[in-house]
Amino acid sequence: YEICACLVGSEMCIRDRRIKGGLGNQLFQYTSGYALAKRLNQKLVFDPSFTANMTARGYKLPLLQVDTDEVIYTEQLPQKVNRLKNLYINKACRVLNISKHNCGKFVYWLETRDEWQPDFFTIKEENLYVDGYFQSEEYFKQYRAELLKQIQPKYEPEDEYLKVLNDIQKCNSVAVHVRRSDFKKDNCEFHYLLDERYYQNAIQKIRLEVENPVFFWFSDDMDWVKKHIGAGEDFRFVCIRTTHGDIDDMMLMRNCKHIITANSTFSWWAAWLNENIDAIRIVPSKPYGMDGMIPKNWDKV
């Protein structure tokens, strides 16, 4: 049985938020910006300038039913803000733990630590440019009900997507995410390659807790999956070729009853968006992303 599917950050202009990274990171940045804008009763807009440097990804928020996808451009920002966006200056500020900068009509607020920062909730300024990844539900979980409605496709679903969704909804479906291709060439310590032992242990845990599970595999390297994991009767290899394949994959994974994630913010979001009250969410025990990114009720394997 084979079906086959094959941001960048956000700058917030509360007025502004810098958008960077793939879809998973864009959602962290949008949701934290949304929560901050709600608390301060201010308008949220995004700086997508960094997305021009991304070859395989792009600015995805306009494809979702988000509260806003309005953008601000480099020439509309104070010169000091644009200087602080410079890779080397930005990194120096992080090393020195300098999070706040006055930039004329803006205050530039930089996430300087790879962990949840409670100072985020002390921000009171009216015109902000916020820069960071904000990889924790602590920033936005109080708005979960609103965000579940917003993080939905704005476009009409294609038949290929609907066929797989129907299969997922008819069984005790388990999404399994395997991410390999870009991690092979990435030297970041968090972008390690998971081996078959992780997936075998996670599958064993699911089999012990779920009656007649069906595993729906999502991967950028399906050949590796078939070679190292095999092909059981309860395996479905998902390779749809829709116009917006990345968003469609996340939505299909979200709609499975349970999920085995990779060390990836992409499948983290598929797990967080899952609305099954009995969902089992399995994540790697080896850390990835920011400290405290994994909710306490998720299972580490």
pLDDT in tens, 53-106: 544 467 888 999 998 878 887 778 888 888 888 888 888 988 888 888 988 888
Residue 7: pLDDT over 50: no
pLDDT in tens, 113-147: 877 788 888 888 888 999 988 999 999 999 999 99
pTM beyond 0.95 = no
Poorest-confidence range of 47-51, 65-69, 182-186, 285-289?
A: 182-186
Mean pLDDT of the chain: 86
pLDDT band at 187 (very low <50, low <70, confident <90, very high): low
pLDDT at 5: 33
Q: State the average pLDDT over residues 150-177.
A: 97
Q: 3-class secondary structure for the chain?
A: CEEECCCEEEEEECCEEEEECCHHHHHHHHHHHHHHHHHHCCCCCEECHHHHHCCCCCCCHHHECCCCCCECCHHHCCHHHHHHCCHHHHHHHHHCCCCEEEECCEEEEECCCCECCHHHHHCCCCCEEEECCCCCHHHCHHHHHHHHHHCCECCCCCHHHHHHHHHHHCCEEEEEEECCCCHHHCCCCCCCCCCHHHHHHHHHHHHHHCCCEEEEEEECCHHHHHHHCCCCCCEEEECCCCCCHHHHHHHHHHHCCEEECCCCHHHHHHHHHCCCCCCCEEECCCCCCCECCCCCCCEEC
pLDDT at 267: 95
pLDDT in tens, 240-286: 999 999 999 999 999 999 999 999 999 999 999 999 999 999 999 99
